Amino acid sequence: MTALRTPICDLLNIDYPVFQAGMGWVARADLVAAVSAAGGLGCIGAGSTTDADELRAEIRGVRAQTDQPFAVDILFATVASKVDEAVRYTDKVMAMVDVVFEERVPVLISGLGSPRDAVAGARERGIKVMSVVGAVRHAEKAVADGVDAVIASGSDGGGHVGSIGTAALIPAVVDAVDVPVLAGGGLADGRGLLAALSFGAQGVWMGTRFIATQEARAHENYKQKIAETDTAGTVVTRAHSGKTCRLIRNAFTDSWAGREAEIEPYPLQGMHVGHPASQRGRIEGDVENGVLPAGQSSGLIGGVPKAGEVVQTIMAEADAVLSKLTAA
């Protein structure tokens, strides 16, 4: 039994404080089920899910493989009404929230935007709500919106990032809010888990580490590329979506260097450039001309194991480091 069980493990009824990040395209039923079955918390990335029916199928796909808790991450595209300040979600987001409610998914995560108007419905159904944030003021806003926990993900991480590095962001968010905090961005092993706990977080939120696993929905070349990439091998660019995003540096990112003025605002850049390039990278495996989101954590990853092994290894490493630190 690990000494590293934290209060959020009791809140969510999981064994270990290891959370697999919700990742559009990549985090589907097989990965989520493997992480949850191993004692962590898997999370479906609904960002790229085309419709509510597909999300429902993924949820049922998880349940066919494990009875352990899991999460769904939705990109809450919101527009605040000037009239009553209610949060307005797109029809697609509302339909996906309804599926999460109907299916009684244990945890709902907002990857982008405020989940505020979904909080009451979630609470009625016993569903916990968490928000991914990249800055202290976003964490404060999420808590004011009623979330049960915040996930502070630093700019070291893969995918869309803010400008604050993980080592400063996590303790600053822990100091600013009175709900549990998870730490993400550039963390990929047991040392990262222990560091997160030292910063005052209650667990780790890892994305890139779980892309390079056998169950992730990604082309084999993408997984291998992460395993080969070192800590200097990624770059932050707006070329993918119009928003700052950390990608593996390749011919795609190089082709946009120095052409920032040509990048269209979000979401147009994604529609015209990012989506086809994502298809090339993540699905077709063209690691030079495609988009490959990944964190600086790539430099800590050397292989493509099973996701359950990753969870077990993180816990064993963290326990070993803790034993060394506390040895007389």
Ligand X SMILES: Cc1cc2nc3c(=O)[nH]c(=O)nc-3n(C[C@H](O)[C@H](O)[C@H](O)COP(=O)(O)O)c2cc1C
Binding site for ligand X (CB under 6 A): 21-24, 26, 45, 47, 73, 75, 111, 132, 153, 157-159, 184-187, 206-209, 211, 293-295, 297
Which amino acid is present at 144? A
Judged by CB, which is closer to ligand X: 39, or 158?
158
Give min distance, CB of 187 to ligand X, in A. Answer: 6
Nearest to 179 by CA among 227, 210, 142, 154: 142
Could you identify the residue written with the tokens 């292989």?
A: 303
For ligand X, the nearest residue by Cβ is 207
Judged by CB, which is closer to ligand X: 239, or 325?
239
Judged by CB, which is closer to ligand X: 68, or 298?
298
Strand partners, 107: 71, 128
Judged by CB, which is closer to ligand X: 36, or 262?
36
CB 88 within 8 A of CB 52: no
Residue 193, both tokens = 């888990």
Give min distance, CB of 296 to ligand X, in A. Answer: 7
Could you identify the residue written with the tokens 């964490």?
A: 139
Give min distance, CB of 1 to ligand X, in A. Answer: 26
Give min distance, CB of 265 to ligand X, in A. Answer: 19
Judged by CB, which is closer to ligand X: 56, or 160?
160
Give min distance, CB of 23 to ligand X, in A. Answer: 3
List Cβ neighbours of 292 (8 Å cut-off, separation of 6 or more). Answer: 222, 225, 226, 247, 248, 250, 281, 282
Nearest to 153 by CA among 121, 182, 175: 182
CB 317 within 8 A of CB 190: yes
Cα separation, 42 vs 67, in Å, equals: 12
Give min distance, CB of 131 to ligand X, in A. Answer: 9
Judged by CB, which is closer to ligand X: 39, or 192?
192
Cα separation, 242 vs 62, in Å, equals: 32
The CA-atom distances, in angstroms, between 24 and each of 55, 190, 232, 302, 325 are 12, 25, 24, 23, 37
Give min distance, CB of 297 to ligand X, in A. Answer: 4
Long-range contacts of 47-50 (CB under 8 A, 24+ apart): 47/22, 47/23, 47/73, 47/74, 47/75, 47/111, 47/112, 48/24, 49/24, 49/96
Quick check: helix, strand or coil at residue 124? helix
Chain length of the chain: 328
Judged by CB, which is closer to ligand X: 116, or 209?
209
Judged by CB, which is closer to ligand X: 106, or 158?
158
Give min distance, CB of 321 to ligand X, in A. Answer: 19
